[in-house]
Amino acid sequence: MLKQNLSQKLLQKLSPQQIQLMKLIQLPTASLEQRIEEELESNPALEESTDYKEVFDLNESDSDDDNEFEKEEVFELDDYINEYIEEDPISYKLNGEYGQETEEEYMPQGSSISFGEFLLDQVGLLDLDPVEHMIAEQLIGTLDNDGYLRREVEELMDDILFSQNIEVTKEQIEKMILVVQDLEPPGICARDLQESLVIQMKKRIDQSEPPVNKGKVLALKILSNYFDEFSKKHFTKLEKNLFISSSELRDAMDEIVKLNPKPSSAFISTKQQHVKYIVPDYFIANRDGELELILNNKNAPDLHINDNYLNILKRYKEHRSSSREEKKAVLFVKQKIDSAKWFIDAILQRQHTLYKTMYAIMQYQYKYFLTGDERSIKPMILKDISDMTGLDISTVSRVASTKFVQTEFGTKRLKDFFSESIQKEDGEEVSTLEVKNILKEIIEAENKRKPHSDEKLKDMLADAGYNIARRTVAKYREQLNIPVARLRKEI
């Protein structure tokens, strides 16, 4: 049985504009220019300023119910046009209040062949029949970014049959894998790390002048037959199984560390690998003991409303027509101008939010930005900055997650300034960043032949006044990308 009832619900929903604003706030400065270019291409009412900058305060008013057409578009056309044409323009400049004027710089781009083209050029010099050449091309096209062959032979057979309509045998593919593995750089087209290192070591031995270094021969034997013990750093077991001394094992390890676990990285191509530069979103300068914060607006051009669209509204006002087609055109203009106005306002609001958040962080960590001493970084969480700025915690998180600040002491990631606090034995609250730095110093100074266990590290931190659990030590160590004691061991 169908039944109707009336109920009240309290819901919070974000409008499409609010969602877009959140995305703009989270966007780093390096990507802002591309986002603005996309908006300029999609909205003809938005233009990049050249001689002047202007923005209009666009507000919708009450609807006119004179006809069906105007009921569908809830706004008063006369008032709307007057707002656009007769109001004084407001100065709009993105590189103004929070930013600085900077000359545009260009980074010269080099040109080179890709890694795949480099391999294909070598294949072209080999004496291969058409089918073998096709298989070699297929193998090269299948290599991953590190130069490894991750597909099984049976899958390669299916790939060739599907793409070339040629049926090849397993033996043919295995033969061509060996051919590609013989190309430069050494170690490519291997199925796993062990095979790649073995290929590289064999080439090093083949290219060595006699007599061959015993360390290389022993290294090849370890990689071929004792790779599991080597990868787990079971040095005592290796010495026992191979009947060798510590010095002989050390010589072999010295040869192994010269090999490249990512063979393709030895070939640098500007088309394949682009150097990524960190573009700071903020600059903090020390002006005679006073900190100055500048928002980087280099990638944010000045924007304004297209004059042609404003002229359309002017002509409509001067030569009013009741035709449906002309009203449709004016409504289209309104829609585009509204969108352009919102985007300009969103960019301004982004600037205001970024500046406000970073200014609060600078004030909170004022001592660090003056001295550069990481021990002076205070415990700080998102809520602290949220309380200072009046912004939502999620907004502060979006700002901090992808932004960088350039200081006299280097370029820092904003989220690195956020940390929990722990209490020392004397009751003083310190940042977990300080504990991590001390932990890192202890591990760097340890005897690599007998590295400290997590339990030992816990005891050493306790002696320094930091009482934390062993599992917390393990968590901090993992966050610092430091392996366990067994994998830090050296001969």
**What are the φ and ψ backbone dihedral angles of 232, each rounded to 5 degrees?**
-95, 5
R_g (Cα) of the chain, nearest Å: 33
As a whole number of angstroms, the distance between CA 359 and CA 366 comes to 10
Is 76 inside any structural domain?
A: yes
Domain shared by 379 and 368, yes or no: yes
Domain shared by 289 and 354, yes or no: yes
As a whole number of angstroms, the distance between CA 161 and CA 156 comes to 9
| Lookup result for tokens 């101008």 | 337
| 163-206 pLDDT, tens digit each | 888 888 999 999 999 999 999 889 999 999 999 999 999 998 88
Max Cα–Cα distance, the chain, nearest Å: 101
Cis peptide before 483 (omega within 30 of 0): no
Domain shared by 297 and 386, yes or no: yes
Residue 72 makes CB contacts below 8 A (sequence gap 6+) with none
Q: In what helix (H) or strand (E) does residue 47 lie, and over which residues does it extend?
A: strand 46-48
Q: Which residue type, as a one-letter code, is found at position 481? A: N
Domain shared by 344 and 413, yes or no: yes
Residue 65 makes CB contacts below 8 A (sequence gap 6+) with 71
Name the token pair of 362.
Answer: 């600078």
| 332-390 pLDDT, tens digit each | 878 888 888 888 888 888 889 999 999 999 999 999 899 888 778 888 888 999 999 99
Does residue 114 contact residue 367 with C-beta atoms inside 8 Å? no
As a whole number of angstroms, the distance between CA 52 and CA 63 comes to 33
| 147-175 pLDDT, tens digit each | 899 889 899 998 888 888 888 899 999 99
- Domain encompassing residue 331: 17-101+275-418
Domain shared by 154 and 242, yes or no: no
Instruction: Write down the pLDDT at residue 112.
Output: 58
Does residue 432 contact residue 472 with C-beta atoms inside 8 Å? no
Q: Which residues of the chain have pLDDT under 70?
A: 1, 11-17, 49-112, 266-276, 299, 316-322, 425-427
As a whole number of angstroms, the distance between CA 133 and CA 141 comes to 12
Domain shared by 373 and 467, yes or no: no
As a whole number of angstroms, the distance between CA 41 and CA 38 comes to 5
Instruction: Write down the pLDDT at residue 292.
Output: 92
Domain shared by 74 and 201, yes or no: no
Q: How many domains does the chain have?
A: 4
Instruction: Write down the pLDDT at residue 362.
Output: 93
Instruction: Write down the pLDDT at residue 448.
Output: 82
Is 191 inside any structural domain?
A: no
Does residue 74 contact residue 334 with C-beta atoms inside 8 Å? no
Where do the H-state alpha helices sit in 165-213? 170-181, 193-206
The residue from 389, 418, 447 where one domain ends is 418
Name the token pair of 284.
Answer: 């903090």
Does residue 269 contact residue 112 with C-beta atoms inside 8 Å? yes
Does residue 343 contact residue 46 with C-beta atoms inside 8 Å? yes
Domain shared by 379 and 446, yes or no: no
Q: Within 10 Å of residue 153's Cβ, how many Cβ atoms?
A: 17
Is 3 inside any structural domain?
A: no
As a whole number of angstroms, the distance between CA 129 and CA 409 comes to 60
Is 308 inside any structural domain?
A: yes
**Closest-CA residue to 354 (of 393, 403, 301):** 403
Instruction: Write down the pLDDT at residue 59.
Output: 38
Is 302 inside any structural domain?
A: yes
CATH code of the domain in which 126 resides: 1.10.10
The residue from 248, 270, 292 where one domain ends is 270
Is 192 inside any structural domain?
A: no
Q: Within 10 Å of residue 182's Cβ, how many Cβ atoms?
A: 14
Name the token pair of 194.
Answer: 């062990």
The residue from 362, 390, 418 where one domain ends is 418
**Closest-CA residue to 69 (of 332, 312, 324):** 324
Domain shared by 211 and 177, yes or no: no
CATH code of the domain in which 431 resides: 1.10.10.60
Domain shared by 299 and 229, yes or no: no
Domain shared by 368 and 294, yes or no: yes
Domain shared by 214 and 228, yes or no: yes
Handedness of CA 238, 242, 248, 253 (dihedral sign): negative
Is 108 inside any structural domain?
A: no
Where do the H-state alpha helices sit in 243-381? 246-256, 307-318, 324-364, 366-371
Q: Which residue type, as a one-letter code, is found at position 416? A: D
As a whole number of angstroms, the distance between CA 163 and CA 86 comes to 65
Does residue 393 contact residue 382 with C-beta atoms inside 8 Å? yes
Strand-pair partners of 283: 294, 406
Is 93 inside any structural domain?
A: yes
